[in-house]
Amino acid sequence: MDLAAHELPSGSARLEPYQNWLLHDAFYSPPRPEPHPVAAFVLANRGIGISLADLFALFGSDINDGPLLAESSIELHRPLAEDAEYEVRGVIESVERRRSRRIGPFDRITCRFDLLQDGVPAATVTNVFAVPRPGEEGAS
Amino acid sequence: MTELPGWKLDQVDPARMKTLALLLADPNPIHLDAAAARRLGVADRQVNQGPSTMAMAANMLLAAFPGARLTRFSTRLLGLVLAGDSVEGGGSVIDREILDGLERVRCQVHLDVPGRGRVLEGEAVLVLPAADGNT
């Protein structure tokens, strides 16, 4: 299955005030009403309409087989808000076969998640996963 | 080039990883269970989630620029951060510009685990508060 340009099922997420408090605390940040900027990652992860385990299954991997988050970029188009509903849309942007000394052949899979509040872009989160492909050839 | 003030977290707390696993809906056991991390050959302790390590770097930036708003943040995760680790950070301002009357600073940042090396490198853009406190 060619994963590039594959659209992920959309969904939604909300950071309730108690979750915002807990997230600040989990992030070593003094709790405050404004969500932590990295909350965009959490909202994208939780709001996309596919579980993390199913996303890795779509990659042909297993969450226990060592897929790694290699890179992540967050662009905040406007401040995030607690208790606001965010629509989350996602797409697998690219898949590149690579090789590393440490993990051997792997696919570098780039996923983009767009968060929208009332239809207006609020944040874009772009995550790059390194998915090991043990025993597979074709690595450059 | 202006250096950012040094930053340090004394100890990565595995209890916070459990809270974050729930908030992220991330079932990966390496963040919850040291025995699972050992069994999977990943590490001998729980592994901090990538977004938590990113958040540490964001915390360092927001401490360096109180009241600023982080608008862009790109990171490369280069190594594992484990339960009980201490984490040290640094960085520098690489560019400043005024846009729509607000000052924006572009920074390079990094985080290290003493004894194991660099775990994160990144770049960020922050909008500094105006004289009236707005960003």
Out of B17, B52, B70, name the one closest to residue A76 (CB). B70
- Pairwise CA distance, residues A71 & B90, whole Å: 19
Using pLDDT thresholds of 50, 70 and 90, give the confidence band for residue A133. Answer: confident
The pLDDT of residue B76 is 98
Q: Which amino acid is at B100?
A: D
The answer to whether the CB of B14 falls within 8 A of the CB of B85 is: no
- Nearest Cα of chain B lies from the Cα of A137 at a distance, in angstroms, of 24
Chain B residues with CB under 8 Å of A52 CB are 24-28
pLDDT in tens, B57-90: 999 999 999 999 999 999 999 999 999 999 999 9
Q: Is the pLDDT of residue A102 over 60?
A: yes
The pLDDT of residue A16 is 98
The pTM for the full model equals 0.94
Residue A111: give the domain boundaries: 7-132
Q: Is the pLDDT of residue A139 over 80?
A: no
> CB distance from B52 to chain A under 8 Å?
yes
CATH number 3.40.50.720 is the correct assignment for the domain at B2-12+48-127: no
Using pLDDT thresholds of 50, 70 and 90, give the confidence band for residue A4. Answer: confident
A137 in any annotated domain: no
Cβ B20–A26 below 8 Å, yes or no?
yes
Beta bridge partner(s), residue A107: A97, A131
Using pLDDT thresholds of 50, 70 and 90, give the confidence band for residue A140. Answer: very low
Using pLDDT thresholds of 50, 70 and 90, give the confidence band for residue A135. Answer: confident
> CB distance from B134 to chain A under 8 Å?
no
pLDDT in tens, A16-73: 999 999 999 999 999 999 999 999 999 999 999 999 999 999 998 888 776 789 999 9
> CB distance from B58 to chain A under 8 Å?
yes
Domain regions of chain B by residue span: 2-12+48-127
The pLDDT of residue A87 is 98
The answer to whether the CB of A126 falls within 8 A of the CB of A110 is: yes
A33 in any annotated domain: yes
CB pairs under 8 A between A and B: 96
DSSP B129: P
- Pairwise CA distance, residues A71 & B86, whole Å: 22
**Domain CATH code at residue A121:** 3.10.129.10
* Number of domains into which chain A is organized: 1
Residues of chain B with pLDDT under 50: none
pLDDT in tens, A85-101: 999 999 999 999 999 88
Q: Is the pLDDT of residue A103 over 50?
A: yes
